[in-house]
Structure 1
Amino acid sequence: MRHVEISGKRLRLREVTLDDVDALHAVYGDPTATEHLPFDPRTREEVEEGVVEAIKAAEAEPRRLYVLAVTDVDGGEAFGVARLHIEADHPHSAEIGLGLRPDHWGRGIGTDLIRLILTFGFRHLRLHRIWGARSPANTAAQLAMLVAGMVEEGRIRHHVRARGAWRDSIVHSALEDEWEGHRDV
């Protein structure tokens, strides 16, 4: 297993641990934080199961799943999570996802987080393509992805079933040869 820890100007990403369950439940269990995610708010037990799965996935060889706690650059309690999943059939491509506690919204943290995930994927994992999907109604995620240097590719119709209804997804991506990774994160 390769231990992951990467820092930017304001944020730090590190491996999730069982000590993060309550902090991550504050994200995944919050109806506001999960409004645009493709699942209903999760129970504490469901979040704990997810953390256990992430810890096991960190031991896989080759490693395909990175679930990282988001903290301030100086550390402290997690207030978010970043996920990077390398595609098995296309090992130079990965999907990202993120979640932040609502009290951290509106301060550019989402943009910084996406830049940090892109830095990790392109510089450390040597990926070629990194993509993410968002709810069409999630304009904050749209802005964060665009400002972070991702390009809006298009719409996947009826991509996920969330809250009892089909929902489209808008896909954004960044390519290693187009990415402006020289900018400080």
Structure 2
Amino acid sequence: MAEDGTSDARDVTLEVVLRPVTAADLDRFEAEFAGPEGPGPYQWFGHTPAQRPRQLLAERGLLGGDENMLSVTVGDTLVGRVEWFRRAWGRADTSSCWEIAIGLFTAHRGRGIGTRAQRQLVDYLFAHTRVERVQVCTDAENIAEQRAVEKAGFTFEGRIRRAQWRAGAWHDQLIYSVLRTP
């Protein structure tokens, strides 16, 4: 049981690993996230073209640019992906940060994988890039993601009103961040 008395489905023995994306991974992402059931109610934005990730994979392995992706695995099983995008709070050359996102396959949610994968991504970004800040935005109703990022060390910063158009309506987003420690 979790501290709040609810069922705690997390498995602390799972070995969560981030690795470079392959073409086969992109095929699986397309299949798993093709309809509203796959990404879930907070990440379904309608059908979108799949060419951009394939183009970026061919050009630079989906690494080393402003749009990046790693696959999330547990053991040898592909369970989802993490992404990071450059965002700026002023001039991009002096005030950029990373914004991260995660997409786990339905069968692998609620087990603590997302928390660990996002924390690993933060550690990776601070070790391999010069940013001072990593942020995440999530839907104001997405309680599971809010808990995951808080457990991963993110601090709640505020509400961004009517920031995201999805499912025929505007939705508030919550912003969280973690800062590089000196």
TM over 0.5: yes
Matched, 1:54 2:56: yes
**Residue 110 to residue 158, structure 1, CA distance change in 2 (3 Å):** same
Cα drift, residue 71 of structure 1: 1.1
Instruction: Look at both structures and tell me which one has the larger radius of gyration over its CA atoms.
Output: 2
**Residue 172 to residue 21, structure 1, CA distance change in 2 (3 Å):** same
Aligned to 2:20: 15
Q: Quick check: 1:92–1:126 contact (8 Å CA) kept in 2?
A: no
Taking the aligned partners of 1:100 and 1:114, their CA distance within structure 2 comes to 11
Aligned to 1:70: 72
Cα drift, residue 160 of structure 1: 1.1
The one-letter code of the counterpart of 1:12 is: V
Q: Quick check: 1:157–1:168 contact (8 Å CA) kept in 2?
A: yes
- The CA deviation string for residues 127-181 of structure 1, in whole angstroms up to 9 with x for no partner, is 2100010011110000000011000111111101101111111111000028xxx
Q: Quick check: 1:150–1:174 contact (8 Å CA) kept in 2?
A: yes
- Greater Cα offset, 95-104 or 119-128: 119-128
Taking the aligned partners of 2:31 and 2:142, their CA distance within structure 1 comes to 20
- TM-score, length of structure 2 as denominator length: 0.79
Listed as ranges, the matches of 1:65-144 within 5 Å are 65-72=67-74, 74-76=75-77, 78-87=78-87, 89=92, 90=94, 92-144=96-148
Aligned to 1:183: none
Taking the aligned partners of 1:174 and 1:38, their CA distance within structure 2 comes to 26
The one-letter code of the counterpart of 1:140 is: A
Aligned to 1:36: 42
Structure 2 residues not aligned, in runs of 5+: 1-13
The one-letter code of the counterpart of 2:70 is: L
**Residue 51 to residue 63, structure 1, CA distance change in 2 (3 Å):** closer
Cα drift, residue 85 of structure 1: 1.2
Aligned to 1:182: none
Taking the aligned partners of 2:128 and 2:97, their CA distance within structure 1 comes to 13
Taking the aligned partners of 1:120 and 1:14, their CA distance within structure 2 comes to 11
SS in 2 for 1:145: helix
RMSD, aligned α-carbons: 2.5
Taking the aligned partners of 2:115 and 2:164, their CA distance within structure 1 comes to 24
Aligned to 1:24: 29
**Residue 171 to residue 38, structure 1, CA distance change in 2 (3 Å):** farther
Paired residues in the alignment total: 164
Q: Quick check: 2:53–2:62 contact (8 Å CA) kept in 1?
A: no
Taking the aligned partners of 2:25 and 2:172, their CA distance within structure 1 comes to 31
Aligned to 1:173: 177
**Residue 59 to residue 173, structure 1, CA distance change in 2 (3 Å):** same
